[in-house]
C-alpha cells in the first residue's frame, strides 16, 4: 500500500516530515481494520500499536459492568454483510468498505422488496458519492450505508440483505500507557479507537498519541511529570475508565488533552474545557498564540468528544482538545472521504510539533520569585550590555520583563502571556537567571 501513499504525497513529504511519516505509516497499517466500540477490531488495533510501543497495556472490562449511568455493552462481531439481487449479483459488500454496515448492526438475513430495503439504507444526498458513517450502539438495529448515487442503481424488485454479525457477552477493550516521572502529578492524553475505516476522525488521534507516548518514554528520566495515554472507545470508554480511576485522576491530572482529528493539514483548532481557564487551556492557548495565531478557538458549547465526560459537572478535570480541523467542521467528516488521502505526514508533523511544544511548556512551567528587591545588577553578571545608549535596552528587555513579573504568584505561562515571549525562550531565560542567583523557584 506504500505505492498508494506515493500517489498521494511526494517523496519530499516523507523526507521533510520524519515523525509525521512514521505516524502516517502506522495509521496506514491500522486503517483497514473494522473497529467498533468493542470487539476484535479494537484488539487487533491495540495489538499492532503494542508492537510499536510495548509499554501499552490492554484491559478487558466485561459486558454488563456498570460505569456511572452506563453499562458495558455486548461485544459486536461481524464476519460479513452484503446485499444481492435474487440472481446473486452483489450490489453492496462489507468487504469493499466496512462503512457499508451500520455499526453494531444486529444479525439480519431476509429477502426484501426494494422499498423495504431502501428503508434500511442510509445515504448522504448532498454528498452523493460518499458513504456515510452510521452507528446504532444502544438500540438493536440493522442497517446499511451507501453512496446516494449507487442507491439510484437499485432497480430490481427484490433483494436479499444479509448481516452476519453477532452481539454477545464479551468485553470492552482499552489500552493504557503510563510513564512515571519525578512527580505523580500527570499530564493526560485520551484518544479513541472505536471508529472503523475513518482516518482523521479518529485514527489520527491514537496514532499521534502513541508517538507522543514514545517521546515521553524516551524523555522519562528527565521528565518532571508522569504521562498517561489512554486508548478507549468514545463515551463508554472514558466513562468506564473514569469509573475505575476517577479519584486518582482528580488528584493527579494537572492538564489533559483529547487528541483527535490530528492528521489533516488545514487549520489548527482549540476546544475549551468547561471552565476555560485550566492549566491545559492556558498552555494550549499560550502555545497557539505564538505558533499559529490564526488558530480556530471553539467554546465548550461546540464540544463533541470525550471532554464531554472529562469536564462534566462533578468530574471537572482540566481537559481541553487540540486538533487540526475540528470534527463536524470539515466536509469529509463521518464519510468515506475521511480516508488516507485526507491526512498526511505533514499534517501529523504539525500536530506532533504543536503537542510537543504544549507538553514542554507544561514541563517548563514554574513559578519564580526574584531573589533581590529591585532590579538586580545584570552588568556585574555579564548579563547586560555595559555601554548603554538609546535603543540598547531592547536586547535585554525580555530578561528584565521576566524579572519584573517574577513575583512568586504568576507562573511562567502567565508571564509569557503578559510579556509575549514564548515559553521555550522564557524558560531558558528563567534557568539562566536562576543559575545567576537572581530567581528562585517557589
The residues of the shown chain that bind a second copy, judged by CB under 8 A, are 67-70, 102, 122, 124, 132-139, 141, 143, 235, 238-239, 242-243, 246, 274, 300-301, 303-304, 308-309, 311-316, 328, 333-335, 369-370, 372-377, 379-380, 384, 386-390, 393, 400-401, 403-408, 418-419, 438
Measured from the CB atom, the residue of 158 and 369 that comes closer to a second copy is: 369
Alpha carbon distance 428, 416 (integer Å): 12
Helix (H) or strand (E) holding 87: none
Distance CA 174, CA 62 (A): 12
Minimum CB distance to a second copy smaller for 55 or for 339: 339
Q: How far is the CB of 9 from a second copy (least distance, A)?
A: 27
Phi-psi region of 104 (alpha: psi -120 to 50; beta: other; left: phi over 0): left
Nearer to a second copy, 84 or 290 (CB): 290
Shortest distance, position 376 Cβ to a second copy, whole Å: 4
Q: 147 by DSSP, 3-state: which? A: coil
Residue with cell 473497529: 35
Least Å from the CB of residue 202 to a second copy: 13
Nearer to a second copy (CB atom), residue 15 or residue 418: 418
User: Can you tell me the distance from the alpha carbon of 94 to that of 83, in angstroms, rounded to the nearest whole number?
Assistant: 9
CB of 313 to a second copy, least distance (A): 4
Q: Which is nearer to a second copy, 302 or 360 (CB)?
A: 302
SS3 360: helix
Q: State which residue, 21 or 286, has the beta carbon closest to a second copy.
A: 286
Place of cell 487487533: 44
Indicate the length of the chain as a whole number. Answer: 442
Angle of CA points 26, 30, 33, to nearest 5°: 175
Judged by DSSP in three states, 435 sits in helix
Query: Please, which residue, 182 or 420, has the CB nearer to a second copy?
Result: 420
Enter the DSSP assignment of 33: S
CA gap 257, 259 in Å, rounded = 6
Backbone angles phi, psi at 291, to 5 degrees: -95, -35
Closest contact distance (angstroms) between CB of 124 and a second copy is: 8
Amino acid at each position: 500500500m506504500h505505492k498508494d501513499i506515493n500517489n498521494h504525497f511526494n517523496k519530499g513529504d516523507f523526507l521533510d516530515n520524519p515523525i509525521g511519516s512514521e505516524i502516517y505509516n502506522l495509521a496506514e497499517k491500522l486503517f483497514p481494520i473494522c473497529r467498533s466500540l468493542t470487539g476484535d477490531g479494537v484488539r487487533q488495533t491495540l495489538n499492532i500499536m503494542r508492537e510499536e510501543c510495548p509499554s501499552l497495556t490492554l484491559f478487558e472490562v466485561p459486558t454488563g459492568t456498570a460505569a456511572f449511568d452506563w453499562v458495558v455493552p455486548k461485544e459486536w462481531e461481524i464476519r460479513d454483510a452484503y446485499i444481492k439481487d435474487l440472481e446473486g449479483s452483489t450490489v453492496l459488500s462489507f468487504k469493499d468498505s466496512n462503512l457499508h454496515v451500520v455499526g453494531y448492526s444486529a444479525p439480519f438475513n431476509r429477502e426484501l422488496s426494494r422499498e423495504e430495503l431502501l428503508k434500511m439504507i442510509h445515504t448522504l444526498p448532498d454528498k452523493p458519492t460518499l458513504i456515510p458513517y452510521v452507528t446504532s450502539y444502544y438500540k438493536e438495529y440493522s442497517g446499511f450505508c451507501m453512496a446516494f448515487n449507487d442507491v439510484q442503481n437499485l432497480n430490481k424488485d427484490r433483494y436479499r440483505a444479509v448481516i452476519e454479525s453477532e452481539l454477545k457477552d464479551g468485553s470492552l477493550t482499552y489500552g493504557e500507557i503510563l510513564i512515571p516521572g519525578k512527580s505523580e502529578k500527570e499530564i493526560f492524553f485520551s484518544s479513541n479507537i472505536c471508529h472503523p475505516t475513518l482516518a482523521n476522525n479518529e485514527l489520527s488521534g491514537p496514532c499521534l498519541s502513541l508517538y507522543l507516548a514514545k517521546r515521553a518514554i524516551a524523555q522519562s528520566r528527565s521528565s518532571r511529570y508522569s504521562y498517561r495515554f489512554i486508548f478507549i472507545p468514545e463515551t463508554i470508554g472514558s466513562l468506564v475508565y473514569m469509573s475505575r480511576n476517577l479519584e486518582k485522576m482528580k488528584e493527579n491530572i494537572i492538564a489533559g488533552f483529547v487528541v483527535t482529528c490530528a492528521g489533516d493539514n488545514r487549520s489548527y483548532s482549540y476546544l475549551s474545557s468547561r471552565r476555560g481557564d485550566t492549566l491545559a487551556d492556558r498552555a494550549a492557548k499560550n502555545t497557539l498564540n505564538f505558533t499559529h495565531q490564526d488558530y480556530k478557538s471553539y467554546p465548550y458549547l461546540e464540544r463533541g468528544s470525550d471532554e464531554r465526560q472529562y469536564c462534566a459537572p462533578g468530574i471537572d478535570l482540566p481537559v481541553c482538545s487540540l486538533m487540526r480541523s475540528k470534527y463536524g467542521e470539515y466536509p469529509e467528516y463521518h464519510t468515506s472521504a475521511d480516508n488516507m488521502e485526507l491526512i498526511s505526514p505533514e499534517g501529523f508533523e504539525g500536530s506532533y510539533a504543536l503537542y510537543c511544544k504544549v507538553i514542554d511548556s507544561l514541563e517548563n512551567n514554574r513559578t519564580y520569585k526574584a531573589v533581590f528587591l529591585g532590579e538586580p545588577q545584570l552588568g556585574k553578571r555579564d548579563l547586560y550590555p555595559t555601554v548603554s545608549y538609546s535603543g540598547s535596552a531592547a536586547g535585554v528587555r525580555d530578561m528584565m520583563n521576566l524579572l519584573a513579573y517574577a513575583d512568586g504568584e504568576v507562573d511562567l505561562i502567565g508571564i509569557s502571556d503578559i510579556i509575549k515571549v514564548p515559553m521555550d525562550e522564557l524558560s531558558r531565560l528563567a534557568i539562566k537567571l536562576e543559575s545567576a542567583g537572581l530567581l528562585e523557584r517557589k
